[in-house]
Amino acid sequence: MKLSKLVGDRFKERPANCLIDSHALMVRGGYIKNVANGIYSQFPPMKRISQKIENIIRDEMDKIDGQEVLFPVTLPGSLWEESGRYESVGSELLRFTDRTGSKMVLGMTHEEASVQLVREYANSYAKYPFMIYQIQTKFRDEARPRAGLIRVREFTMKDAYSFHTSQEDLEQYYQRCYDAYNRIFARCGIPEVAVVKSDSGMMGGSISHEYMLLTAAGEDSIAICPECGYSANVEAAPSIVKNENTIAKEELKEVATPGTGTIEELCEFLHIPAENTAKAVVYQRNADDSYVVAFIRGDLDINETKLTNALGCEIHPAVIEDDSVLTAGFIGPVGINEKVTVLFDNSLKDIDYLVTGANKVDTHYTGFNVERDCPNAKYFDLAKIVEGGICPQCGKPHITISRGIEVGNIFQLGTKYSKAMGFKYTDENGEEQYPIMGCYGIGVGRMAASICEVRHDDYGPIWPITIAPWQVHLCCLRSDDAECKEFADNLYNTLQNKGIEVIYDDRKARPGAMFADADLLGVPVRVVVSPRNLKESVVELSTRDKSIQKKVPMNEIEQEVDNVIKQLTDSIYEKVK
């Protein structure tokens, strides 16, 4: 490919709306173009990267006996009604009607479609286990698309579905897929991806893992224990709190606390630490706006995912109007309106005397004891695990919290979908059973953007050679110099004929402009042909990551390009287990 013909602009200025580097670089480098909120077109370099990632995924899925299929993007609403998700999933599921008025949805995940495809076929135990997968466009009507290709509404995803006759068989296959995922990330040049326990969310099922690429630009928080290696999404990590009773025995007593609508104001007014308070955090159910109050120790925060799971329904942060049954800023468990759902976080267990709201303006209780004053209190794990918190695995208080991007996930679904959709097979004894399912996803565009996020410098992406849009970037510094151009033209043809992918900058451009473009395209091997070097019978060869920068004799350059490509490829494959 000649750069002079490559469709797409590259430019220097960082676009104002790009909050993270990968987004800025992929716009500046002519990889993507925004079409609508969270919806992008892909220019040729991005399409090439996507295809390479897809081919790596396809290869690894085939190696674990996956069979590639294709499900529709547009699905009948009736299929999602069978699983119950037509109702249960929020507005990220795009619902519409076709010309006949039939309910349709845009596929955001294909559990229902996978069951629909195989439920007649897989009617006997002898057909099991099997796995089917697709690489296809998905749509998820995200409320807040952000960060370029990291969180979009339309995306290409590999989604795989496995079917089993026993939990044991699922677990064995889950492990094979777990390993295949590690190979995929290593082959794409990010062997450091961490596997963490995750919350299964709307997918249902019990055990699930996320593959996290750790980076400050990530939108997920991961709890890691450096002592024992425990790692989990904070949404899935239990918060463990040990309370010590430090306050003398007290009676429940109303005290005036004027102007103390926040925990900070309250603690300052009473000269107590936040741990000695029971804080109210208020939400409303999406369905009917009814109030939910979660009480938690004043120094901790609620994790909404945990609260959602505890309630079994979708919620949003509350708006408390003046005429509400709640007294904003002074809400407490004692005497709270009966219509309000009240939950207690585990952090309020085994703690004796606290300050909490009295459900009256400018008034709190001191000496509040949950067991004595709220004998029917129900405890849940609702708190966010914190930096320095207790590790749920080894018990040491050394948890660290890191940011990460979820680049893949795997779920043990169990029989949620087969039961809901009446999908059965006949077992060895002639009895009907529900198949046990697993599902396994990787977003292609998000993976590319994540790799860019962790593999770039100020000037552009540094693509791993296995997914780079081209392998070699050839610059002819003076295309108006006949000898120089002839050498570069020949080298371009020779390398291409050897099957090497070359982007050839044959433009009449300043060297600075050429190198800036080369940096933005992030191609791993760069070859620079210039009249000055040709006089010395050499060309310059360097790598985008600057690990190699040397002059190579003209007659050795083809061989040396081969060598460097092999070296870069090998260094990636060394990390594939």
Q: Which residues bind a copy of itself (CB under 8 A)?
A: 1, 5-9, 30, 33, 35-37, 39-44, 46-48, 50-51, 65, 67-76, 79, 91-92, 94, 96, 98-100, 102, 104, 106, 113, 116-118, 120-122, 130, 132, 134, 136-137, 139, 141, 143, 153-154, 156
Output 35 or 256, the one with its CB closest to a copy of itself: 35
| 38 contacts 47 by C-beta, under 8 angstroms | no
The minimum distance between CB 135 and a copy of itself, in angstroms, equals 10
Output 76 or 205, the one with its CB closest to a copy of itself: 76
The minimum distance between CB 67 and a copy of itself, in angstroms, equals 4
Output 100 or 376, the one with its CB closest to a copy of itself: 100
Report the distance separating Cα 277 and Cα 298, nearest Å. Answer: 5
Size of the chain, expressed as the number of residues it contains = 577
Report the distance separating Cα 310 and Cα 313, nearest Å. Answer: 8
Report the distance separating Cα 311 and Cα 283, nearest Å. Answer: 11
The minimum distance between CB 119 and a copy of itself, in angstroms, equals 10
| 27 contacts 148 by C-beta, under 8 angstroms | yes
Q: Taking the CA of residue 325 as centre, how many other CA atoms within 13 Å lie in the half-sphere pointing to its CB?
A: 14
Report the distance separating Cα 325 and Cα 290, nearest Å. Answer: 11
* SS3 state at 404: strand
Torsion from C-alpha of 413, 190, 522, 529, nearest 10 degrees? -140
* SS3 state at 504: strand
Measured CA angle at 281 (ends 278, 286), to 5 deg: 155
Q: Which of 235, 244, 231, 267 is nearest to 347 (CA)?
A: 244
Which residues have CB under 8 Å from 60's CB, separation 6+? 180, 181, 183, 184, 187
Output 121 or 573, the one with its CB closest to a copy of itself: 121
The minimum distance between CB 502 and a copy of itself, in angstroms, equals 14
163 bridge partner residues: 130, 437
Output 364 or 473, the one with its CB closest to a copy of itself: 473
Output 92 or 431, the one with its CB closest to a copy of itself: 92
The minimum distance between CB 127 and a copy of itself, in angstroms, equals 8
Report the distance separating Cα 309 and Cα 200, nearest Å. Answer: 10
Output 426 or 549, the one with its CB closest to a copy of itself: 426
Output 68 or 168, the one with its CB closest to a copy of itself: 68
Q: Which of 30, 55, 52 is nearest to 41 (CA)?
A: 30
The minimum distance between CB 435 and a copy of itself, in angstroms, equals 13
The minimum distance between CB 70 and a copy of itself, in angstroms, equals 4
The minimum distance between CB 43 and a copy of itself, in angstroms, equals 6
